[in-house]
Structure 1
Amino acid sequence: MNKSIFLTSAARCGTHWVENILAYVLDLKIGLKRYIPNSDGRIFYNDEDYIEALKKEEEEKSGGFIYSAHIALNLLAPIIKFVNIIMLIRDPRDICISAAYFKLKNEKYEKKKFEQCLRKLLFDGGPNIDFNISSVKDKILKKTLYYEDMIKDSYGSLINVLDFFNYNYDKDRLKNGIEKYTFETLSKGRKPGEEDKSNHYRKGIIGDWKNYLSKEQNKEFCEKHKDLMKGWGYNE
């Protein structure tokens, strides 16, 4: 049985996409969820309660699961011996664009309301930015996986991750898994770049922030979050 995986990220980083591929390739079961009712009806609104329940599950079943949650790395110490930790990273500016649409997806689109929501996400912090800032500084053992690399070369990116943790896997099955969970499949027929503002899988491209931020806004964001941008290797 394969050792379990914990996939952590800020929201809007393609977490479910990567989770589905890895579960398929390594024959892992989807483990406990935080905000979605589990088979026994449990929902975990507290990080510590969720980690404790996950630890108990691993102690009882010894592997074979993949977990995903937006939890800062420093909270994962109690489970590090049970799971391999993968941190999914995405350009914070693209995260904010995607998060703004997600927050307003159940409302009629209004440009002014969208711009207000986006500015708040960009410059007033919020869970996505705070998550990334805390994780830049954390030294817990993990493998980082960039959303941009997954878009450009899913196969090579996942081989790098799987080999890092010494998993045994079938390369043909990996190719099949990537094909099974393409953006076109997940979005029910749209190609990357074809936008549906109300869909969880909205657009599926990188650098979308360039369509929304002025030069002044981008400069302001990069200055405000310069440690974060430098820490993850993103340029202005």
Structure 2
Amino acid sequence: MEIKVIVVMRNPKDVAVSYYNFEQQNPWAQSQDSWDGYYREFRDGKAVFGPYYDHVLGWWQMRDDPHFLFLKYEDINRDLTSAVKTIASFLKKDLTDDAVRAVVEACSFQTMKERYAQSSYKPLQIFTRKGKIGDWKNYFTVEQNREFDAEYEYQMAGTGLSFEFK
């Protein structure tokens, strides 16, 4: 059996906002109550999952391995049909146009959110909020954005990896 790994990455500003909101919904989270406090934790690599850049760049080291497929959340969000076709090709699966349409419909953010709401299966917490790109603009202050951009440029320099912040 050939192992295949699909890595989905998202721009770090939206990751920070998503995790902040996720942790606000979970009583076990030890996060700061305020966005400012959480921003500092995330910036300093003290969020629950550790430093963002260590995580993403750790996976990114595998980018030339043919067993790995890297997708960006922003690209999937913009064109789910192309993402489904890319994944099918990576997995060496031939899908008819009807099958692609069915997968796209089943995997749309709205459909998954609606199906979860109707489901009787409720593990600890499954978190579906907006699924939008650029929500960070509703949280980051001008100073936080400036500071974050400088650190982002430093951390990502020379990696060949970049994200859309919209």
TM-score, length of structure 1 as denominator length: 0.53
CA RMSD of aligned residues (A): 2.6
Q: Which residue does the alignment assign to 2:99? A: 173
Please report how far the alpha carbon of residue 187 of structure 1 lies from its aligned counterpart in structure 2 after TM superposition.
Answer: 1.9
Q: If each structure's strand is expressed as a fraction of its own residues, which one has the higher value? A: 1
Tell me if structure 2 keeps the 8 A contact 1:155–1:178: yes
Among candidates 28, 50, 58, match of residue 134 of structure 1: 58
1:26-41 pair list within 5 angstroms = none
Change (3 A) 1:201 1:95: same
Instruction: Tell me the distance in 2 between the aligned counterparts of 1:144 and 1:202.
Output: 23
Among candidates 189, 210, 215, match of residue 142 of structure 2: 215
Paired AA for residue 114 in structure 1? S
Matched, 1:157 2:78: no
Matched, 1:87 2:22: no
- CA offsets, 1:80-121, max 9 Å, x none? xx21222111101111110111112035xxxx8131123311
Among candidates 203, 215, 225, match of residue 130 of structure 2: 203
Q: Which runs of 4+ in 1 moved over 6 A?
A: none
Instruction: Tell me the distance in 1 between the aligned counterparts of 2:57 and 2:152.
Output: 8
Tell me if structure 1 keeps the 8 A contact 2:8–2:71: yes
Q: Which residue does the alignment assign to 2:44? A: 123
More contact order relative to length (CA 8 Å, sep ≥ 6): 2
Matched, 1:114 2:31: no
Structure 2 segments unaligned to the other structure (5+ residues):
116-124
Change (3 A) 1:125 1:153: same
Instruction: Tell me the distance in 2 between the aligned counterparts of 1:235 and 1:98.
Output: 16
Instruction: Tell me the distance in 2 between the aligned counterparts of 1:235 and 1:151.
Output: 12
% same residue: 24
